[in-house]
């Protein structure tokens, strides 16, 4: 029994606007969300959704996670950047060097992401969203490998990466130094338990792997009766939902 990755979630000041932006960038279709907010999914409905949830919390510092978008050619990289700018994104400086070939951008809500240069071997074959690149420890990479039962595809110099056995987007962690966490993360993972599986058992499994409950640990159910808010070993928020 294992929860699967249902969605990568953004806390957003204007969820519907941000959903339209990312739908335009990625070419993903809009879908009805299971609760408040907006959502998009890939055309083939495989992999994870991206959800945009209402939040008025201000952005404080650089996000702990961002998307790396892939490019098949220099021309495609240029077209992606142009599309981002046309849809309301912008160039930003996060300390990248002039000789680096990836392009660093921000969406209309200020969330950072990169458009990676063509020929990047690490992201070959992953799809348009090559990676969810995270600031995190080796320990948290090991945790998520066990939590999702995704194998490690990189484990070197305290940098880790995992990928679904079915392929697709990788999740990566850059290792130390890990920047201190300031406030609630804007991006977080939304896990879903398969139908007819025991929820309390799964929450207990995640705790045994190093997660903690973020709701004070009451009963098995969260604030809406269908979710448990949790923290991974690096203190990053995630939620476990019943089957939807």
**211-233 pLDDT, tens digit each:** 999 976 554 444 556 889 999 99
Lowest mean pLDDT among 25-29, 48-52, 130-134, 179-183: 179-183
Note if the pTM is more than 0.85: yes
* pLDDT value, residue 35: 61
* pLDDT value, residue 221: 45
Host H or E run for residue 65: strand 65-69
Residue 147 neighbours by CB under 8 Å, 6+ apart? 2, 3, 191, 206, 209, 211, 232
* pLDDT value, residue 94: 82
- How far is Cα 103 from Cα 213, in angstroms, rounded to an integer? 37
* pLDDT value, residue 197: 82
**Average pLDDT of the residues of the chain:** 91
Is 5's pLDDT higher than 70? yes
């Amino acid at each position: 029994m294992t929860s699967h990755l249902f969605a990568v979630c953004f806390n957003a000041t204007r969820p519907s606007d941000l959903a339209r932006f990312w739908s335009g960038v990625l070419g993903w279709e809009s879908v009805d969300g299971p609760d408040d907010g907006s959502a998009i999914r890939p055309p083939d409905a495989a992999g994870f959704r991206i959800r945009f949830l209402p939040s008025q919390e201000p952005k404080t510092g650089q996000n702990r996670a961002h998307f790396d978008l892939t490019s098949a050619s220099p021309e495609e990289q240029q077209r992606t950047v142009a599309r981002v700018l046309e849809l309301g994104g912008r160039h930003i400086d996060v300390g990248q060097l002039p000789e680096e070939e990836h392009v660093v951008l921000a969406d209309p809500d200020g969330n950072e992401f990169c458009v990676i240069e063509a020929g990047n071997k690490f992201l070959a074959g992953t799809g348009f969203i090559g990676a969810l690149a995270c600031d995190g420890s080796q320990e948290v990479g090991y945790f998520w490998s066990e939590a999702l039962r995704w194998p490690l595809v990189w484990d070197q110099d305290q940098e880790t990466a995992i990928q679904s056995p079915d392929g697709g987007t990788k999740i990566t962690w850059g290792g130390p130094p890990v920047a201190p966490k300031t406030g609630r993360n804007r991006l977080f993972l939304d896990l879903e338990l398969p139908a007819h599986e025991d929820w309390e058992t799964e929450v207990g499994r995640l705790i045994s792997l190093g997660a903690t409950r973020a709701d004070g640990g009451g009963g098995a159910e969260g604030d809406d009766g269908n979710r448990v808010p949790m923290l991974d070993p690096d203190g990053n928020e995630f939620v476990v939902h019943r089957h939807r």
